[in-house]
Structure 1
Amino acid sequence: MSISRAIGVISGLNECVNLFQWAGSSISYLRSRWSATQEESIHHEVLHLQSGLQRLRDTLPAMYSLIDKAEWRIHEGRVAELLPNLKDAVNDADDLLDEFRWHELKMEVEGNASHSAFIDFYKTTVQGSFNKVNDIQERLNSISGQLEKMGLYGVTPGFDKSVRPDTTPFPNEKKKFGRDKDLKEVMGFLGVPQSKGRACSKRKRASSTVNASTSTTAQNQVNKSRISAIPVLPIVGMGGVGKTTLAQHICNHQEVKEYFDLIIWICADDFDVKRLIKDAIQSASGKKTTLDHLASLQHALSSSVSNKRFLIVVDDVWDDALMENEQRWKDFYDSLTNVVQGSMMLVTTRFPDVADRVRTMEPFPLAGLKEDVFWRFFKLCAFGSESCENDPELVRIGKSIVPKLKGSPLAAKTLGRLLGMNLHTAHWNNILESELWKLKQEKTDILPALRLSYIYLPFHLKRCFSFCAVYAKDHKFEKGRLAEIWVAEGFVEPQGNTPLEDIGHQYFEDLVNRSFFQKVRGTYVIHDLLHDMAKLVSDHDCFTIKSMRDFQMVPQNVRHLYILPSRDLSTSNLLSLSNHTKLRTLICDKSFGNQGAAIMDRWCSELQRLRVIFWASSNELPDSIGNLKHLRYLEISKACPSKSFSSAFCSLYNLQRLYVKECELESLPCDFSKLISLQRFKSRGFEYYAGCTLNIDATNQFEMKLIKNLNQFDGHMNIRNLGSVRNCYAEEFKLKDKKYLRRLALTWSLSYSPEGVAKEVLQVLQPPSGLESLLLKDYPDVSLPNWFQLRINLNEMPAVIVDNNNDEIGTLSSFEELIILQCRNLRSVQ
């Protein structure tokens, strides 16, 4: 897979050009403070740092590509050892580049005129970070060099046969477990006549081409009438659920063999059209073909089946069949036109999107085995016999293990094999208490089988899905919330001018279409076995703390951490997490009580790489939160007594989402406008997001105080009930400072207002110069304030609505749209 550019913050870094231009300018301005030798040394260090950062930035896209290739070869021991180290070094590089992005934002906020700020930047950043840049670059070079010697740079992504072996039409399991109903249904949809006394399925399948006769004559005669294209019935279900096994039993069923003249089985382990057609020709004729031209192969396959009613099974179709705008599938499917009526194609796939796009009939979903049947199958796998219950203790443990496997036959085989190796209770209890993803498994066991689905994902979706391992099983995901967090983590790649959150929504839908999320009663969950697989692929990156003993198992370089509420968590446990300084995500569902402030202060002081923070509750946000240069998402879910934020909070220049929905904030700090990345802000009784329309009651002092310093406001603002407001209060809105305000509507009530007061109020409500649209409604005074004279020229306005019988509008400039409604007293703007 080709990764064309680095992801997230790297693509927006712009090489820190402005930052180093400012640094160069500051050196020139402050040269009188240093000797010529010192100046030259400082200049040299700054240039070296700039070139080192640029080299690091240029290296990362290749490193992401290398990670992706390494995951295709994860089954090789040495690659598995090096991959966590490579990911860790890449994350360190990303964090370092993001730190300099913060400095550039700070320069943008503070202005580059303050050259004295360079001294602090030089001492704390240039001298302190240059060695980090060199060290990280050397680590990347070392690890990538080792992988290159192993041939990874020349790897073309694809599965070798040991990981994804070819299948055949002959079942490994001679006995069916709980699939009789499924088998009969699928046979019915394939048009196989039902035996006497066998109930036909009442489920409907959308196909007008299947017309199976139940008469004896029809069963023994080949219908020579033709159909233009072969019907396609997909069987769809997650890996290891038994799709291939069901298809094998169908192919070997006596009535199926009697009904079809020919059964063709091909395995689509990669969707190479020519290879698949060649396999189909060999299966149909028993002879290999030497043809290699696509059209010739298509004609040869058509000839091989021309006078036969046949069943072709295409097993294990992945989404590479849909590549090249589905042309791969079309080239294969077009080989089977003008076939004998009754011919059918059966496709097995783990991808609902593939099933939906190749089908001509409604897909047949295959779920796990029912509980009673699954227990019988599990006993066979673990004990070697269905009836073996001579050890009640092992039976009890086995019944406790079964619910974890969710009816998956392959999971039963995997755990059955591990349990059957040692029929002692200690061994069985150890497996019961272990996470499934921690158990050693063979290449064809359940988690390696499910991991194939993960490996096949595009790289950006891999990062998004593996991150979800930080959440506990059965967590209910919200698409919007998760998309925002993915953006904050830097997992979402920019696509032109499309908002990153919208791209994150599409990522979520892509994962839903690949069955990584399942919709259950209006919310989304991850299947338990897929969650185990997510834990497996994110072993070193994600960790969930459920109880006190888990603190001893937190990986040292963990990036994403979730703390579930538990009674046995102590303050010392929570404080110990400050040792994991590479944390990017900290989600804590536990309330801290009186110790909350101290714990949070420690975390904010030590965990300075945090990008996402979710806290259940907190008494206050400590000043140390200003250390979190990378922070983009902050949420406090429960009420907190704090009425405002400290000024240190206003240095979070990267902050994009601020959710304190249960906190009754009374005001925002005066420097709140420095949060130039803020796109969404919620507190009790107040909500703002970029592009929104904010409706404000001018008599509401609470709203007024929050609006006062929200100068990064980007959207439309409607202020009503201005008739009850005096100019001293109207000044609190500070509209002139809200330079991103685009549309403004001002409404006075129809109640009595002393003459001239409305004009004074409107004077202090002067909007920013970039305002595009202004609506005045029920304005009671006879003239407009003098700032209008500098703004409006009616000859230049594309849209003007004036509802005023006695108006005399003077010459003003610059609005794109002016609307004056029901201002019956207005006569002049002079």
Structure 2
Amino acid sequence: MAEAIVSRVLEKLSSVLEEEVRHISNVRGELEKLASNFQAIKAVLEDAERQQLEKEKASVRDWLYKLKEVSYDIENVLDEWSTAIFKSKLEKKKVCSFIPSPSLCFNRGKLLLKTTHKILELNGRLDVIANERERYGLKELSVEKPIRREQTTSLVNLAEVCGRVKDKERIVDILLNEGRIGELRSTLHMISIVGVGGIGKTTLAQLAFNDEKVKSHFDNRIWVCVSDPFDEMRIAKAILTSLDKDAGQNLVELEGVFQCLGNLIKGKKFLLVLDDVWTEQYGRWDRLKLLLSSGSLGSKILVTTRKENVAKIMGCTTLCPVEQLSEEEGWSLFSKIVFFERSDSENLREIGRKIAGKCKGLPLALKTMGGLMLLKKTVKEWQSVLDSEIWELEVAEEGLFHPLMFSYYDLPSHLRQCFSYCAIFPKDYVIEKSKLIELWMAQGFLKGTKHRDMETVGEDYFNDLSMHSFFQDFEKDENGGIIKCKMHDIVHDFAQFLTRGECLTVEAGSGSSIEGFNESARHVMLRIPYDSDECPTCIYDAKDLHTLLVDSAGVGEYNVDLLKLFDKLKCLRMLKCQSERINKCPKQIRNLIHLRSLDLSDNFFLEKLSEAVCDLYNLLILDISGCEKLRSLPCRMGNLINLWHLRNWDTDCVEFMPKGMEKLTCLRTLSEFVVRSGGKGAALSELGNLIHLRGELEIRGLRNVRDKREAEKAQLRNKKGLTTLTLNIGSTSFDKSQVSEAFVLVLEALEPPLDLEMLGIWAYNCPTTTLGVWPSWIMSLTKLKFFVLGSCVNVEQLPPLWKLPSLESLLLTQIEGMKKVGVEFLGIETSSLSPSSSSASVVAFPNLNSLQFCEMKEWEEWDYGSRGEEDIKIMPRLSSLVIFGCEKLKMLPDSILRSTTLQNLKICRSSIISSRCQGEYQPHISRIPKVEFVEF
């Protein structure tokens, strides 16, 4: 991680030198000296990072620690300087340009003097560190120093293999498959075994390679350990030697080797195993692949790699991810090693099972720990190993983590720091991808470009780490995108080993101290038990903390002293804190000038946010969702011009948005925007400037908007990133005479982007003079999947939602005035349902899966006419129907009763329908798998 922080500091130094101090010679000279020292140190950092892992190089480890400490301090000073300059520029804009501002000049001069003193002191510390690099013999690695990798062979020790029977059978079946229908004869079928280091990829390949059916199926079987770097000549010669040990001995040119190899494999059906492939450069493999394509149909190449990208780049058409062993398989492997020809007490076996369990099915870990336990004789020794963190054991550094080092050093420095940061989470923690990316943002790990913002870069980083098998147990959305994941326990141990107390999770106990807590830590997740009533006081002494995530089990009644926290933890970049005892955010929060992310979500009793929050000019993320008693947002919100995300769901007591919201032009997330009458607060038109909004947006209080021009200026249609929009009109008691003249036009002007996926309209009061007036743009939302219409008044006619081709879920709730749902709901006139009509090709609601009617107290009829159901297809994919609180509904249409797709039918507080379903409708609904009746 040292290289990453040094690179960050150099980048900030460059920015300050170019933009802020280019005319201030004394400060510039000191900063240039800092930059020069850092450049010299950076050149040897790769060597230092690798040397520190050797047992005898503890002094190098200490040197790196001192370097990181001074780097963090320099980063803080530069951040303070940049923030103060930004603040002075912001204040200067508020002062008329022709009026001098002595206070601004004085403050800037005072800041300059203070900064110069700090830089002088830091330069002295860095001088010492720079000079020490020669003492440790650190050198610039002109050619990347390789990590020693053991060469693998096709031989396998079956005695050390447990499980993998199904995995092996799957691989063997693929290898024996002669080809797929439509597959070209020249196609070379490539299979890849993918997984984290130590999971057993090579073992699985060996098992398949040595299978008797595989041996008899192929003319030739070839095993090549590739590793890194990818040497085309060496691989070609290895294949050649395997086919004919005398061939190519005198060949020194690649062309000659290729020609000889081509002649030997032409027309032969071969199996080639390329074990431990790393390179992601397509050109390095392309020529060799072309040559190998001259083999006979049915030839196969089996690749093992830790990186999914490698498999894709090489053209593998079949990916076989390797999972961890089951608990019983893991115990079987462990006990084979430890208890072979050894009789021990049952106590040792009981402890042994727990030790094996800590390995979480990773074969390398099981073998390593098994080898360690062979040397342990007593219960006390075994218990000591069980009680230790695996990464604290010497055997872990020497054997267990060695393979993971390959993957780690295959990463560039910016990915190394992102991976290492994950040590902040506890084991088995479910990591939300979006939250992790925001944590990286808050620490300055992500740098956007002109065409790719920080979060897009973060997505790429996350995907890269996933491709390297550092994450697992993925939870995906309906489109296949990863939303959550976990880390294997051994990979987590490895991350902790790398950070050595810099990133950690600590459990708060009953006292003021925390076991295992290090006051010099930089990133901490503090887990507070539900029954704890006090935040440990030692946390306030960790003055260098950059991340503090207070994670309470439950709501959290512990007492946290925000005044002390804000006064002492001034280096924080990310703060998350939740407690039932927090009812206000004090003004001392302005001390946290480095803060990028502030999460006060679910503080149910928080009533006030201090105006001082608006002095946090670096803030990127503010989360106040779930603060149900929060009365208002600070008036100077417009100062937070760097803000990306304002999450304010479930803040119903907030009655308006402060003026100046239009200045927050970086906003990507704004959960709720509230409009208030009387000109107090921000106008709806201020949304117009927020062109980057995406995701979900709810607009509340639309009843207070009477001018369609204000709605037009909001420019919702141009906010292409919005996927969910809720238009909450509010009270329906306003003057009905003004509805048709004003609000219908306002609603029409609030046209959303065409790609909207979810729409909600609440508390719409249909004008009584023209029943059923709906915005014309509803029918243009061809990608809309979810539609909610609720708490509406004077609705006698629904919009023709049947036309929406992508609609999957429809909820109609508390719609007053709706007595009948008929052919108008389908958008088809009664006259069009004659026998001569061409409506036979019409499909109403072609993709509707879920339909819910709730609290429709006046609804009596659901009828499509006598011929409607014969001439059109109605809801051909309907799977779920819920009717809740519809006491007057008399009958269900025949199309519902005849439906062959319906899987779930739920009738609640709808007595007439319940009675008929249990009587005359019974023959129809008996084929529905799940039917539920609830009366309460």
Q: Shorter-chain-normalised TM-score: which range?
A: 0.7 to 0.9
Q: Which amino acid in structure 1 is aligned with residue 104 of structure 2?
A: A
Q: CA deviation at 1:656?
A: 1.0
What CA distance in whole angstroms lies between the structure 1 residues aligned with 2:215 and 2:429? 46
Aligned to 2:259: 299
Is the Cα–Cα contact under 8 Å of residues 191 and 317 in structure 2 kept in the other structure? yes
Equivalent residues in 2 for 1:405-424 (5 A)? 405-424=359-378
What CA distance in whole angstroms lies between the structure 1 residues aligned with 2:688 and 2:101? 23
Q: CA deviation at 1:748?
A: 12
Q: Which amino acid in structure 2 is aligned with residue 277 of structure 1?
A: A
Aligned to 1:277: 236
Is the Cα–Cα contact under 8 Å of residues 47 and 141 in structure 2 kept in the other structure? no
Q: Which amino acid in structure 2 is aligned with residue 560 of structure 1?
A: H
Is the Cα–Cα contact under 8 Å of residues 274 and 294 in structure 1 kept in the other structure? yes
Aligned to 2:406: 452
Aligned to 2:502: 541
Q: CA deviation at 1:438?
A: 1.3
For the pair 1:185 / 2:170, whether they are aligned, the reply is: yes
Equivalent residues in 2 for 1:566-581 (5 A)? 566=529, 571=534, 574-581=536-543
Counterpart of 2:280 (choices 322, 328, 351) is: 322
What CA distance in whole angstroms lies between the structure 2 residues aligned with 1:554 and 1:105? 36
- Alignment deviations for residues 631-675 of structure 1 (CA, whole Å, 9 cap, x no partner): 010001322433332233222110111101122332233333222
CA spacing shift, 1:290–1:109, aligned 2, 3 Å: farther
- Alignment deviations for residues 202-238 of structure 1 (CA, whole Å, 9 cap, x no partner): xxx968669xxxxxxxxxxxxxxxx535321212222
What CA distance in whole angstroms lies between the structure 2 residues aligned with 1:645 and 1:230? 64
Q: CA deviation at 1:511?
A: 1.9
What CA distance in whole angstroms lies between the structure 2 residues aligned with 1:314 and 1:439? 33
Counterpart of 1:680 (choices 638, 645, 652) is: 645
What CA distance in whole angstroms lies between the structure 2 residues aligned with 1:641 and 1:102? 32
For the pair 1:441 / 2:395, whether they are aligned, the reply is: yes
CA spacing shift, 1:684–1:665, aligned 2, 3 Å: farther
For the pair 1:310 / 2:270, whether they are aligned, the reply is: yes
CA spacing shift, 1:749–1:544, aligned 2, 3 Å: closer
Aligned to 2:516: 553
What CA distance in whole angstroms lies between the structure 1 residues aligned with 2:83 and 2:458? 23
For the pair 1:96 / 2:55, whether they are aligned, the reply is: no
Aligned to 1:170: 155
Aligned to 2:206: 248
Q: CA deviation at 1:166?
A: 1.4
Equivalent residues in 2 for 1:249-398 (5 A)? 249-270=207-228, 271-287=230-246, 289-306=249-266, 308-318=268-278, 321-323=279-281, 326-385=282-341, 388-398=342-352
Aligned to 1:603: 565
Q: Which amino acid in structure 2 is aligned with residue 167 of structure 1?
A: T
Could you state the TM-score of these two structures normalised by the residue count of structure 1? Answer: 0.74
The gaps in structure 2 that reach 5 residues or longer are 94-99, 477-483, 694-698, 720-738, 744-936
Equivalent residues in 2 for 1:91-240 (5 A)? 91-111=72-92, 114-123=101-110, 125-147=111-133, 150-161=137-148, 164-171=149-156, 174-191=159-176, 227-240=185-198
Could you state the TM-score of these two structures normalised by the residue count of structure 2? Answer: 0.66
- Alignment deviations for residues 780-826 of structure 1 (CA, whole Å, 9 cap, x no partner): 79xxxxxxxxxxxxxxxxxxxxxxxxxxxxxxxxxxxxxxxxxxxxx
Q: Which amino acid in structure 2 is aligned with residue 633 of structure 1?
A: S
What CA distance in whole angstroms lies between the structure 2 residues aligned with 1:260 and 1:64? 52
Aligned to 1:500: 454
Most deviating of 266-275 and 129-138: 129-138
Q: CA deviation at 1:614?
A: 0.6
What CA distance in whole angstroms lies between the structure 2 residues aligned with 1:495 and 1:621? 35
Q: CA deviation at 1:742?
A: 6.9
- Alignment deviations for residues 332-377 of structure 1 (CA, whole Å, 9 cap, x no partner): 3223121133332111112223223324441222222233232121
Q: CA deviation at 1:86?
A: 2.9
Is the Cα–Cα contact under 8 Å of residues 584 and 612 in structure 1 kept in the other structure? yes
Aligned to 2:28: 50
CA spacing shift, 1:545–1:702, aligned 2, 3 Å: closer
Higher relative contact order (CA 8 A, sep 6+): 1
What CA distance in whole angstroms lies between the structure 2 residues aligned with 1:552 and 1:3? 29
Is the Cα–Cα contact under 8 Å of residues 473 and 531 in structure 1 kept in the other structure? yes
What CA distance in whole angstroms lies between the structure 2 residues aligned with 1:400 and 1:749? 60
For the pair 1:659 / 2:614, whether they are aligned, the reply is: no
**1:355 is paired with a residue of what secondary structure?**
helix
Q: CA deviation at 1:244?
A: 1.2
**1:90 is paired with a residue of what secondary structure?**
helix
Q: CA deviation at 1:437?
A: 1.3
What CA distance in whole angstroms lies between the structure 2 residues aligned with 1:721 and 1:95? 37
**1:233 is paired with a residue of what secondary structure?**
strand
Q: CA deviation at 1:585?
A: 0.2
What CA distance in whole angstroms lies between the structure 1 residues aligned with 2:124 and 2:235? 45
Aligned to 2:594: 630
What CA distance in whole angstroms lies between the structure 2 residues aligned with 1:294 and 1:615? 62
CA spacing shift, 1:524–1:440, aligned 2, 3 Å: same
Is the Cα–Cα contact under 8 Å of residues 423 and 499 in structure 2 kept in the other structure? yes
What CA distance in whole angstroms lies between the structure 1 residues aligned with 2:574 and 2:489? 25
Q: CA deviation at 1:583?
A: 0.8
Aligned to 2:613: 649
Q: Which amino acid in structure 2 is aligned with residue 328 of structure 1?
A: R
Q: Percent identity?
A: 28
**2:426 is paired with a residue of what secondary structure?**
coil
Most deviating of 55-64 and 540-549: 55-64
What CA distance in whole angstroms lies between the structure 1 residues aligned with 2:674 and 2:576? 37
CA spacing shift, 1:110–1:736, aligned 2, 3 Å: farther
Is the Cα–Cα contact under 8 Å of residues 638 and 659 in structure 2 kept in the other structure? no
CA spacing shift, 1:144–1:496, aligned 2, 3 Å: farther
What CA distance in whole angstroms lies between the structure 1 residues aligned with 2:7 and 2:704? 59
Is the Cα–Cα contact under 8 Å of residues 747 and 779 in structure 1 kept in the other structure? no
Most deviating of 390-399 and 616-625: 616-625
What CA distance in whole angstroms lies between the structure 1 residues aligned with 2:286 and 2:712? 63
**2:240 is paired with a residue of what secondary structure?**
helix
Aligned to 1:14: 15
What CA distance in whole angstroms lies between the structure 2 residues aligned with 1:66 and 1:170? 40
**1:551 is paired with a residue of what secondary structure?**
coil
Counterpart of 2:463 (choices 479, 491, 509) is: 509
What CA distance in whole angstroms lies between the structure 2 residues aligned with 1:463 and 1:731? 46
Equivalent residues in 2 for 1:412-811 (5 A)? 412-441=366-395, 445-522=399-476, 523-548=484-509, 551-566=514-529, 571=534, 574-590=536-552, 593=557, 595-596=559-560, 599-617=561-579, 618-663=582-627, 664-685=629-650, 702-704=654-656, 706-710=657-661, 712-714=663-665, 725=677, 729-730=678-679, 732-733=681-682, 740=689
**2:199 is paired with a residue of what secondary structure?**
coil
The gaps in structure 1 that reach 5 residues or longer are 25-45, 194-204, 211-226, 687-699, 782-830
Is the Cα–Cα contact under 8 Å of residues 72 and 158 in structure 1 kept in the other structure? no
What CA distance in whole angstroms lies between the structure 2 residues aligned with 1:55 and 1:134? 10
Is the Cα–Cα contact under 8 Å of residues 164 and 204 in structure 2 kept in the other structure? yes
What CA distance in whole angstroms lies between the structure 2 residues aligned with 1:532 and 1:126? 44
**1:634 is paired with a residue of what secondary structure?**
strand
What CA distance in whole angstroms lies between the structure 2 residues aligned with 1:557 and 1:295? 58
Q: Which amino acid in structure 1 is aligned with residue 155 of structure 2?
A: F
What CA distance in whole angstroms lies between the structure 2 residues aligned with 1:80 and 1:525? 29
What CA distance in whole angstroms lies between the structure 1 residues aligned with 2:358 and 2:224? 33
Is the Cα–Cα contact under 8 Å of residues 368 and 408 in structure 1 kept in the other structure? yes
What CA distance in whole angstroms lies between the structure 2 residues aligned with 1:310 and 1:169? 15
Q: How many residues align?
A: 690
